[in-house]
Structure 1
Amino acid sequence: MFHANVFRIVLALFVSTSHCVTFTITNNCPYTIWPGTLAGSGTPSLQTTGFQLDAGQSVRIPSVPTGWSGRIWGRTGCRFDVNGVGSCQTGDCGGRIECDGNGATPPASLFEITLGSGNEQDFYDVSLVDGYNLPIVAAPRGVHGSCNATGCSSDLNLACPRELQVVGGNDGDGGDTERVVACKSACEAFGLDQYCCSGEFGNPTTCRPSFYSTIFKRACPRAYSYAYDDGTSTFTCKAFDYLILFCPTSHRENRSYGGYTPPSNGDGTKGKVVQTASSSDSNIILFPFPLLFVIALNMFLF
């Protein structure tokens, strides 16, 4: 009887803790990015809402509670002072390293998720509805088997129509050489109801794919390209970990970026996190990621 009671207690503890999810955010870009997080209405903020992530580094955010909803994105070209005040070329969230309830300024590639309560499924997607700034892949690991990876591994900045382009300087070394740093949505660029799925176009019958959203969809068939692109863009799963990988196909080891090459660490990896927004929080774990990258990339090759 004693052993049976111990087993029940252990099982209860396992069930109660297994509902929490871990987000592992990884930077495979050949330059520094600044991920941001935003909780949905009625759910608590994550342990960090913004931080610096150098090339080749990952942050693990554990204990994301059941029922949590929100979004995660990457910011580029950021400059912050010692107080965490500054700005980013893309994805800025109120001019601070911690977003503190502010969303991404478009254009920005977004990972969006609602975690299911209890045994309910998670719903997740990668959205380009607010435009695009970085390649991003989300690869969940399922509680009961495999789950589908999704996202956009293509560099849409290279093929962005001129009228949607956001042009800025290099992110890596702060130089002045201009290049396309983001690609606007047609809604942001033109403000027309037919592109924004608003007004008389505010339903799935009247709001149809546009020339511009089709460009996004062809390059990234599993990502949201416009507001009613649900059928091929929303995924369900019951996962215990989500790997959120920026620049999944970047050959970081063989590239420099505007003169910037990530430094080598003693263990053979590249990049080093020199600042985090919540450095005092022991639950935020920083680590190099080559193995995680290989796993996620294999999951994404569909």
Structure 2
Amino acid sequence: MAGGNGATTRRQLTLFPLHVTLVFQLLCAKRAAAATSFSFANQCAHPVWVGALSGATSPQLARTGFYLAAGATSGLAAPSSGSWSGTFWARTGCAVDEGTGRLACATADCGSGDVACDGRGPAPPVTLSEVTLAAPGSGGLDFYDVSLVDGFNLPVSVAPSHEGCQAAACAGDVNAACPSDLRVLSGGEVVACKSACNAYGSARYCCSGDYGTPAACGPTSYSQAFKAACPAAYSYAYDDASSTFTCSGADTYHITFCPAT
């Protein structure tokens, strides 16, 4: 009997670590397959209509546009397999035209005529939140930024949930400091600020043609005005050094419109 009981005990001790290992592996696999999520908060005093556009090789998200009331929050999940890249932005001053029944927005309209943007990007000027996610479980880095390369319509921040990862943000009011020749007016109010590329289309301001390299295309007085208002945001095409952020292990990216300064 004593020999039998000892054999049973040894077998249980052998199986127990294997059971724990299998459970741990299953939990890790489940975590690796879990999708990163995006949360959206509207801290503006007015509603916004969020737009979402996936990159050319990335699958479309479950929603490509939605209404977000002042003070409201919402969320989206990224695809659970493979890497993902895309942009988010806020449309403002949107209303349905009584004659056509189409939605039109004062800033950052995607031209779909609907709340959903259905694969259409925003018309500049627009503040963009750009995110590139590494494949789940790969251990790779996510990249994210706030870009004013296509101008500015309202302040935005992108903050990873992972401790130690820095937020990318343009919390300043660029409209208040917008040069007069870049202003977009509605009802006498500055509602957006064009980039110099949007306004003039020149190779110098667009970093194209002979100016299509970082060495040839440095900051201008226009981009420096953007940088002064939002030091952590892209102010022109090659403004990488102080404007691109990386993070590994974030479960959620919090995107806030009109974040507190």
TM-score by length of 1: 0.75
Q: Which moved more, 1:86-95 or 1:22-31?
A: 86-95
Counterpart CA distance in 1 for 2:125 and 2:65 is 17
**Deviation at residue 81 of structure 1 after TM alignment:** 6.5
Letter in 2 for 1:151: A
| 3-state SS of paired residue (1:51) | strand
**Deviation at residue 151 of structure 1 after TM alignment:** 1.1
From 115, 127, 145, the equivalent of 1:97 is: 115
Within a 5 Å distance, the mapping from 1:227-266 to structure 2 comes to: 227-238=237-248, 239-249=250-260
Q: Does 1:75 align with 2:95?
A: no
Letter in 2 for 1:209: P
Counterpart CA distance in 1 for 2:68 and 2:214 is 38
**Deviation at residue 84 of structure 1 after TM alignment:** 7.5
Which residue number corresponds to residue 88 of structure 1?
105
Which residue number corresponds to residue 148 of structure 1?
166
Which residue number corresponds to residue 29 of structure 2?
15
The 3 A distance-change label for structure 1 pair 90 and 248 is same
Which residue number corresponds to residue 116 of structure 1?
134
Counterpart CA distance in 1 for 2:175 and 2:251 is 32
Contact 2:97–2:104 (Cα < 8 Å) also in 1: no
**Deviation at residue 220 of structure 1 after TM alignment:** 0.7
CA offsets per residue over residues 114-149 of structure 1, 9 Å max, x none?
10121100011100000000100111012xx42011
**Deviation at residue 6 of structure 1 after TM alignment:** 5.7
Which residue number corresponds to residue 233 of structure 2?
223
Higher relative contact order (CA 8 A, sep 6+): 1
Size of the aligned set, in residue pairs, is 240
Counterpart CA distance in 2 for 1:150 and 1:84 is 37
Contact 1:84–1:98 (Cα < 8 Å) also in 2: no
Contact 1:23–1:64 (Cα < 8 Å) also in 2: no
TM-score by length of 2: 0.86
Counterpart CA distance in 1 for 2:92 and 2:152 is 12
CA offsets per residue over residues 138-188 of structure 1, 9 Å max, x none?
11012xx4201111000111111110001114xxxxxxxx30100000001
Which residue number corresponds to residue 195 of structure 1?
205
Letter in 2 for 1:88: C
Within a 5 Å distance, the mapping from 1:129-140 to structure 2 comes to: 129-140=149-160
Which residue number corresponds to residue 281 of structure 1?
none
CA-based RMSD of the aligned residues comes to: 1.9
CA offsets per residue over residues 52-77 of structure 1, 9 Å max, x none?
00001010113543411000000000
| 3-state SS of paired residue (1:227) | coil
From 30, 33, 43, the equivalent of 1:28 is: 43
CA offsets per residue over residues 205-248 of structure 1, 9 Å max, x none?
11010100000011111100000001111011011111000001
Identity %: 48
